[in-house]
């Protein structure tokens, strides 16, 4: 059993209204010196195999097909 963590973030240049809202909220709460906030997603998957190479290939395919919209998002995979 391998645990994979997929982190999906917006590509540079893609507008992030959610991040902007958080930036505003942090300012309103009195936090100063926040330059920029970008929000992304993280997925923790348990893959039922002991073959790390296979797990990585599988998770990559899952990202391309379902987990990430590769037009506007980047993803990184880290295996545990």
The residues binding its own copies (CB under 8 A) are 1, 7, 9, 19, 22, 25-26, 29, 31-49, 58, 61-62, 65-67
| CB of 17 vs its own copies, minimal distance in Å | 14
Q: What are phi and psi of 50, to 5 degrees?
A: -110, 5
| CB of 41 vs its own copies, minimal distance in Å | 6
Contact 6, 54 (CB under 8 A): no
Nearer of residues 43 and 79 to its own copies, judged by Cβ: 43
Nearer of residues 48 and 53 to its own copies, judged by Cβ: 48
Structure tokens at 43: 């997925």
Which residue matches tokens 């920029």?
36
Nearer of residues 15 and 65 to its own copies, judged by Cβ: 65
Contact 14, 72 (CB under 8 A): yes
């Amino acid at each position: 059993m391998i645990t994979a963590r997929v982190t999906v973030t917006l590509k540079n240049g893609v507008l992030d209204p959610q991040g902007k809202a958080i930036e505003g909220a942090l300012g309103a709460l009195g936090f100063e010196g926040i330059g920029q906030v970008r929000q992304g997603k993280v997925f923790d998957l348990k893959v039922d195999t002991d073959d790390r190479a296979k797990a990585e290939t599988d998770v990559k395919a899952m990202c391309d097909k379902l987990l990430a919209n590769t037009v506007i998002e980047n993803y990184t995979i880290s295996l545990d």
